[in-house]
Structure 1
Amino acid sequence: MRIVVFSDSHRRVSNVLKIIERHKNNADLFFFLGDGNDDVDEALTMYPDIKIERVSGNCDFSSVYPASKIIEFGGKRFLITHGHPYYVKHNLYNLEREAKSVKADICLFGHTHIPYIENIDGIRYMNPGSAADGRYGIIDTENSGIMMYHSEV
């Protein structure tokens, strides 16, 4: 199973389109972590059939999406969030508490624009970096385990 994770596109629709185009045939699911939901809406006019879950960021002023949510997919429990409600620019303490509280297997966040992958107390964390800068993340899960890595357009 492959999940493509991106965040913080900030009106760089061209990068969103590149990410989707590259993975539209090999991704089972896309996660968008906020700050560019209008960009995703625009991309979905070209790719209406992709499966995408998303949340709102602090710059998605009129978005109807929540700031975070729990997704069960492929036998894993994901906490996806933009990150600003948990003050991730300062540290991950609040995010870690929330991930543990909801019993997440994988926690995905954006907001900082800095790519990050870590395993903390059995929970895997990923920040894909900023799609505006051409960065995104990939999660491959198989019976043998989970692989998380960063990529660029």
Structure 2
Amino acid sequence: MRIVVMSDSHRRVSALLDIIERHKDNADLFLFLGDGNDDLDEALIMYPDIKVDRVSGNCDFYSPYPSSKVIEFDGKKILFTHGHPYYVKHGYQDIQREARSIGADIVLFGHTHIPYIEVVDSIHYMNPGSARDGFYGVVDIEPSGIMMYHSTI
């Protein structure tokens, strides 16, 4: 099962369109991590049939979406958030503490615009980087395990 992870488009709708076009036929889920929910709304006009979930970022003013969410997907517990509620610009201690406390398998966050992948205590962490700068992430969940990687448009 494949999840395509996007964040921080900051008014660059074309970046989201490029990512969705590239993966519309091979992604089981798209996750948007905030700071560009209006951009995602515009992109979804072109791609109304993709499966997408999202959270809001600190720049998504008046957004009806939460800043963090936990879902189950293909047997894995996923915490996804913009990152600002966990102060990720100042380190990952808070988000790691939350991940451990809820028993997360995968944690996805944005906010810093810096691509990042790490496994800590068997929990897989990813920041896809900023879609505005051409970065996004892919999470493949297979019987053999979880694989994460960054890509560019």
- The interval holding the TM-score normalised by the smaller chain is over 0.9
Instruction: Please give the residue correspondences for 1:58-77 in structure 2 after superposition, counting only pairs within 5 Å.
Output: 58-77=58-77
Instruction: Please give the residue correspondences for 1:35-74 in structure 2 after superposition, counting only pairs within 5 Å.
Output: 35-74=35-74
State the partner residue of 1:9: 9
For 1:107, the aligned partner's letter is V
For 2:51, the aligned partner's letter is K
For 2:89, the aligned partner's letter is K
Identity %: 74
**C-alpha distance in 2, partners of 1:122/1:21?**
32
Instruction: Please give the residue correspondences for 1:1-150 in structure 2 after superposition, counting only pairs within 5 Å.
Output: 1-150=1-150
Gaps of 5+ in 2: none
For 1:75, the aligned partner's letter is G
**C-alpha distance in 2, partners of 1:23/1:63?**
26
Give the number of aligned pairs: 153
How far off its partner does 1:146 sit?
A: 1.1
How far off its partner does 1:141 sit?
A: 1.4
Gaps of 5+ in 1: none
* TM-score after normalising by structure 2: 0.99
| SS in structure 1 of the partner of residue 65 of structure 2 | coil
**C-alpha distance in 2, partners of 1:71/1:5?**
14
Which runs of at least 4 in structure 1 moved beyond 3 Å after TM superposition?
Answer: none
